[in-house]
Amino acid sequence: MAHESFLEPSLIHYLILSAIIFSLGMLGVLLRKNTIVILMCIELMLNAVNLTFVAFSKYSGNINGQIMVFFVMTIAAAEAAVGLAIAVSIFKRFKEINIRFFENLKG
């Protein structure tokens, strides 16, 4: 590893942290049954990506990373709103948000 000391935070530390959070989010999407918890794990993945962008933005001196975070944050908020609206509609129709019931495309 080509950094001075393991204890001082550098770019690599932030990237590893962000990779761990991203993997946890992905595991959540694969393993959980509740539709809304799956949506929340997607938000977790998006947050990990935001952290990567900001870390790169600081350590390379380029502020366009923060602009990307701006856009990602806005779109993630919008997508969360629509996802929740869909989840509410599904719950009203089927009285069930366990994702196993929606494995087939029909009905």
Partner 1 sequence: MTADALLFWFLALVTIISALGVVVLANPVFSALSLVMTMVTIAALFATLKAFFLAGVQLIVYAGAVMVLFVMVLMLFDLHKEKKAFTEGAFSGGLKLLLGGMLAGLMVGAVSMSTDLFKSVPESAITNNVTGIESTKVLGNLLITQYIFGFEILGVLLLVIAVGAVALARSKGGTHGA
Least Å distance, CB 107 to partner 1, is 16
- Binders of partner 1 among residues 58 to 77 (CB under 8 A) are 58-64, 66-67, 69-71, 73-77
Contact 44, 24 (CB under 8 A): yes
Q: Which of residues 1-30 bind partner 1 (CB under 8 A)?
A: 1-2, 7-9, 11-17, 19-28, 30
Using left for φ > 0, alpha for ψ between -120 and 50, and beta otherwise, residue 61 falls in: left
**Binding status of residue 89 toward partner 1 by CB under 8 A:** yes
Other CB atoms within 10 A of residue 54 CB: 16
The smaller minimum CB distance to partner 1, of residues 57 and 104, is found at 57
Q: Count other C-beta atoms under 10 Å from residue 38's C-beta.
A: 19
Smallest gap from residue 101 Cβ to partner 1 (A): 12
